[in-house]
Structure 1
């Protein structure tokens, strides 16, 4: 049984309806041996005319398809660029470019799955007085300069994170406590060794706490111990490095 179109359905338009009709006429002429030569030439001319139109339309569609493909490639590249930017912004501090708190904690957890980890926590000394005396733009400049000096003094493979306003964490994979303390002392000297350009004539210092954690250990515990050691450095006069007590015992 023949199917009938549904009520209200729009008839489908055949893009090659005219060409199909021309081809059908040419086939009828071909199969009719009684026609004159003029009829054959007319059918052939009609077929050639429609073939030329078909070629023009095909070329136009190909050019349009190529253009749209190029545009899609450009849009796809832009989408990947924006996605990369969003991922970067989600993981990095907007002021310094260091890892943010969430990203540094995540990175530490992943490192502890495969190796022991040393953690250095530092806090800029008397930072509130810098903001009060020179303004928040100067305070931001100090934070950026601290990160720049840290980058120049940490080893390859270390990770720097900004975990608070003026507090930072540095991950040192596979480092022993002694090596981490030496590295923290190098960071302290890099910050305190010369005045900051944004604060003419003023030296900035920081206090440091260091802890170590075995593979599969708790980073939360490591952070708490390093943070307490950093506060001991503050209480002991600032601008110094202290090791976490639990790390000293083991």
Structure 2
């Protein structure tokens, strides 16, 4: 199985874009094989010159191998998917022209293959490139028909060739117009997919982040706590702290709610700068915040909170320069197999004690 996987990587690579291009190449090869089988059947029935048919088969086989190598090396040599698609289409159109010239009474069937080549390009080439290919196909096939009716009018009657060319022109032009419309539709769908992805990202952020403080919101914090309980079901080595900004109502009453919002934003930015890598600070409600300190002892957690208190005391708050901001905190270590809800309850009681003791302090539960 490992050998097969290594062989697959060697043949088609790991890059999704490269694999997609090789899938198109594979579909083209299937079409080539089908045409070769039909061409050999024509030879067997005496409808097609065997020398010309074998030369065309050899030309097509060599071309398929060359295009595989080009696609496989496209990243190194800087070939874009649309350039590869156009090149492969020109090659296929040449094959169709030669097949038309040698297929005798079945030559009109080759016109179907000409249209199929243009259809294949609709999925990789740009609209202008598809239109240009249609013009090239018309010019090339028209030149082939003109040369055939001029050199062998008995087998290629001029009127028949002219009418056949008219049908081909209508089919190719219609296909080109449809290609342009499909390209527009794909562009609209791609843009809508991008917009939908951006909207989902916005919804995801709104569902997990508090829009005022840019901290984790209460809903998402419950998910974080549940994940921490699953990570450490025995309940050792984690601490929880509840923080409350002191006299926040007075800030709102004295300076206005805009100033209160500025205090919350400044506090959140300052507090977050004091945290360790795995600590999570959430806005729990109003001016109250919940801090999770995983893999921390009470001493570690207390040091974090003390560092936070020092920075909060000196943090600048626009519009509230004359007021010193502080917070009270209740800190609890999670006990063995203790649910976080119980640890939070104990931290809440410690926070109440901190407020009762005069605020601007940390009380251990």
TM-score by structure 1 length? 0.79
Is it true that 1:129 corresponds to 2:246 in the alignment?
no
Query: Deviations for 1:224-248, whole angstroms, at most 9, x for unmatched residues?
Result: 111111111111111011111xxxx
Is it true that 1:237 corresponds to 2:358 in the alignment?
yes
SS at match of 1:223: helix
Counterpart CA distance in 1 for 2:297 and 2:260 is: 33
Is it true that 1:44 corresponds to 2:161 in the alignment?
yes
Q: Which residue of 2 aligns with 1:144?
A: 265
Counterpart CA distance in 2 for 1:212 and 1:127 is: 27
Asked if 1 retains the 8 angstrom alpha-carbon contact of 2:209 and 2:216, the reply is yes
Asked if 2 retains the 8 angstrom alpha-carbon contact of 1:92 and 1:98, the reply is yes
Is it true that 1:67 corresponds to 2:67 in the alignment?
no
Gaps of 5+ in 2: 1-104, 110-152
Counterpart CA distance in 2 for 1:102 and 1:161 is: 9
SS at match of 1:123: strand
Flag the 1:59–1:214 CA change in 2: closer, same or farther, 3 A: farther
Asked if 2 retains the 8 angstrom alpha-carbon contact of 1:112 and 1:215, the reply is no
Counterpart CA distance in 1 for 2:160 and 2:231 is: 80
Q: Which residue of 1 aligns with 2:230?
A: 113
Q: After TM superposition, list the pairs within 5 Å mapping 1:17-36 onto structure 2.
A: none
Shift of 1:150: 0.6
Shift of 1:98: 0.9
Flag the 1:194–1:52 CA change in 2: closer, same or farther, 3 A: closer
Asked if 1 retains the 8 angstrom alpha-carbon contact of 2:266 and 2:315, the reply is no
Counterpart CA distance in 2 for 1:129 and 1:210 is: 25
Counterpart CA distance in 2 for 1:44 and 1:50 is: 10
Q: Which residue of 1 aligns with 2:321?
A: 200
Shift of 1:193: 3.1
Shift of 1:40: 2.8
Asked if 2 retains the 8 angstrom alpha-carbon contact of 1:195 and 1:202, the reply is no
Structure with more of its chain in helix, by fraction: 2
- Candidates 47, 63, 81, aligned match of 2:198: 81
Shift of 1:67: 2.2
Query: Deviations for 1:95-142, whole angstroms, at most 9, x for unmatched residues?
Result: 111111111121111112113421121001111111111111111111
Q: Which residue of 1 aligns with 2:63?
A: none
Q: Which residue of 1 aligns with 2:216?
A: 99
Shift of 1:39: 9.2
Flag the 1:43–1:208 CA change in 2: closer, same or farther, 3 A: same
Query: Deviations for 1:4-48, whole angstroms, at most 9, x for unmatched residues?
Result: xxxxxxxxxxxxxxxxxxx99x79xxxxxxxx9599321221111
**Cα RMSD (Å):** 2.2
Which stretch of the first structure deviates more once superposed, 187-196 or 167-176?
Answer: 187-196
Asked if 2 retains the 8 angstrom alpha-carbon contact of 1:118 and 1:210, the reply is yes
Q: Which residue of 2 aligns with 1:226?
A: 347
SS at match of 2:276: coil
- Candidates 289, 293, 296, aligned match of 1:168: 289
Counterpart CA distance in 2 for 1:68 and 1:57 is: 17
Is it true that 1:159 corresponds to 2:302 in the alignment?
no
Counterpart CA distance in 2 for 1:158 and 1:97 is: 15
